[in-house]
Amino acid sequence: MELKWLDDYLALVNCGSFTKAAAVRHITQPAFSRRIRALEHWLGVQLVDRSRYPTTLTEVGRAFVATATELRE
């Protein structure tokens, strides 16, 4: 896992959208989305429900916010 993936995830949580979070992280939206998918793959869980618009966090994704925050402190 790369630590920047946690920063990306927390940016997504704070911004509420992939597009806004990608802009905050200064990367393209497709690259940002790949990094979130890489984090999900590494963890073996789905953090974001992409079947809805706007996207929302899954139950696991909401629980992971505290862990990601703690790891980045």
Summarised one tens digit per residue, pLDDT across range 13-52 is: 999 999 999 999 999 999 999 999 999 999 999 999 999 8
pLDDT tens per residue, range 50-73: 998 888 999 999 999 999 999 988
Angle formed by the axes of helices 29-43 and 3-15, nearest 10°: 110
Query: Which pLDDT score, from 0 to 100, does residue 73 have?
Result: 82
CB 32 within 8 A of CB 22: yes
Q: What is the pTM of this model?
A: 0.92
Write phi, then psi, for 52 (nearest 5 degrees): -115, 155
